Amino acid sequence: MYGADSCMADALLSLVDELRRATECTCTFGHEGAYQIFTILSDICKRKGHTEDVSLMRDLAPVLESQAICEEGRAIGRAVRQTLEHFAQEIEDHIGKKLCAAGSCRAFQTYHILVSKCIGCGDCLKACEDDAILGKPKFVHVVVQKNCTQCNKCLEVCPAGAVVTAGAQKPKTPPKPIPCKAK
């Protein structure tokens, strides 16, 4: 089920993937068209979308819907057309604003260190290979967003549960390390 916190780009990608795996059809539109749409959506969800992607899908969808031989191919065309009718802006934002409003596409998530939980142990700083964490002992550490590659290592090593990921709503964190309050 899709709810308010569902990402429509990600949801459409999953549906297209499911439908293209379900068919053995090799017709040009059902097979190649579906592959093209799948590739475009995958790139969008990986933060690698291009400005022309949405209009390309808008052109491809009705062709699949009317020309694919298999039902799955036609269903892909229909799903893409209907999704773009209602959620084109949300999908466009992944490309133009580098934003996944629902916060579900992993490539768009940001990492943050909570002041209320960080004990300043330095484990995340040691684990980060991208120079994306600032800190010193007993200070709340801070993620430098422009350097972060979303590798997840800081979150895995933190013994205090102080590292969190966020989508559109970001937790408030200091711009530079401050003395720890958490023990």
Helix (H, G, I), strand (E, B) or coil at 168: coil
Cβ closer to ligand SF4: 88 or 178?
A: 178
Cα dihedral 77→95→48→127 (10° resolution): -130
Q: Are 165 and 153 in contact (CB under 8 A)?
A: no
- Using the contact rule CB under 6 A, the part of the chain among 35-43, 65-73, 145-153, 166-174 near ligand SF4 is 145-153
For 22, 37, 83, the CA distances from 77, given in Å and listed in that order, are 15, 9, 10
Minimum CB–partner distance for residue 145 and ligand SF4 (Å) = 9
Going residue by residue from 108 to 137, which x/- string records binding to ligand SF4, judged by CB under 6 A?
---x-x----xxxxxxx--xx-x-xx-x--
- Using the contact rule CB under 6 A, the part of the chain among 14-22, 47-55, 60-68, 144-152 near ligand SF4 is 144-152
Q: Which amino acid is at 6?
A: S
Distance CA 181, CA 172 (A): 15
Q: Are 173 and 141 in contact (CB under 8 A)?
A: no
Site residues for ligand SF4, 158-177, by CB under 6 A, read 158, 160, 162-163
- Using the contact rule CB under 6 A, the part of the chain among 23-31, 38-46, 94-102, 153-161 near ligand SF4 is 153-161
Q: Which residues bind ligand SF4 (CB under 6 A)?
A: 111, 113, 118-124, 127-128, 130, 132-133, 135, 141, 143, 148-154, 157-158, 160, 162-163
